[in-house]
């Protein structure tokens, strides 16, 4: 995948999870192993993040593995809290691809439509 195409995929992914204005919370991904993800990896990983945040208890680790590349990620909700009327969760993500690994923790809040988005 070309760097231009990868950048476009990255921006679309960050915006879909973060909701436009909060996309800056995903800037750390630019230097992470996710640059080795295929477009299908992005879609599958994003869906798994949504599933884990909506269903898995704090402290449980789910491993997502790509069916196309050597990419994988451990997703662990570490804390659930409230932000006004919203349920929010911290998610630790260990991301592996192309022989590289990174760990990052981000805060997501559930939106009225049920989608989880990253928040500052």
pTM for this predicted structure = 0.77
Domain residue ranges in the chain: 3-118
The model's pLDDT over 46-84, given as tens digits with 9 standing for 90+, comes to 999 999 999 999 999 999 999 999 999 999 999 999 989
Q: What is the mean pLDDT of the chain?
A: 82
Long-range CB contacts (within 8 A, 24+) of 57-61: 58/89
Predicted local confidence at residue 110, as pLDDT: 95
């Amino acid at each position: 995948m070309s760097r231009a195409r990868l950048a476009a995929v990255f921006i679309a992914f960050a915006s879909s999870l973060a909701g436009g204005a909060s996309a800056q919370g995903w800037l750390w991904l630019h230097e992470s192993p996710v640059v080795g993800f295929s477009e299908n990896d992005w879609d599958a990983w994003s869906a798994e993040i949504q599933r884990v945040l909506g269903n898995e208890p704090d402290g449980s680790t789910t491993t997502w593995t790509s069916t196309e590349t050597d990419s994988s990620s451990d997703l662990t909700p570490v804390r659930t809290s409230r932000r006004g009327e919203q349920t929010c969760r911290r998610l630790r993500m260990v991301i592996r691809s192309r022989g590289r690994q990174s760990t990052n923790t981000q805060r997501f809040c559930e939106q009225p439509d049920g989608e989880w988005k990253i928040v500052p």
